Structure 1
Amino acid sequence: MLLRAAEENGLDLRQCVVIGDRWTDLLAADEAGCGKVLVKTGSGQDTYEKYRNGEYFGRWQEVEPDFVAEDLSEAVKWLLQP
């Protein structure tokens, strides 16, 4: 989906960031070369705890968020900082 969006909209995915609340969001972002922000809202808190407790294995364990935000507002503020 990210690759298709990039193609249809002329995006450089290395300049894009995925904000998500599931590890699958971060995996997709990593595969596409995007930045990765995990928000703790929705499923994010559970996802974050599993990550910190080492419950992810293999490829899942290799992916690390660039930033962990409490909510979407904090994620956007992080992205907009100079």
Structure 2
Amino acid sequence: MVEPDESDVVRLPRGVRLREDKARGGWVLLAPERVFQLDAIAVQVLTRVDGRRDIAAIVDDLAQAFDAPRERISVDVRAMLSDLIAKNVLEMA
């Protein structure tokens, strides 16, 4: 499994979209022939994935927004992104 570093930039690959599912009242990550139902934490992370910011900037933004320990957020965010990279719904830019 790929373990992204904080200096890495991640993005949604071609064909993958983050969308609000108003019918079900939540957010989904749409990929070819797959749909990932997202929890509130995943939505907060993925809305910050823009293909320009590195993971460190995403973690800093989340730590400030939620007044939470940066180190804990970094570990959790990198683990989540690593899992999504392994599932081919995120890629390193």
After TM superposition, the score normalised by the length of structure 2 is: 0.27
In proportion to residue count, which structure has more strand? 2
The higher relative CO (CA closer than 8 Å, separation ≥ 6) is in 2
Structure holding more helix per residue: 1
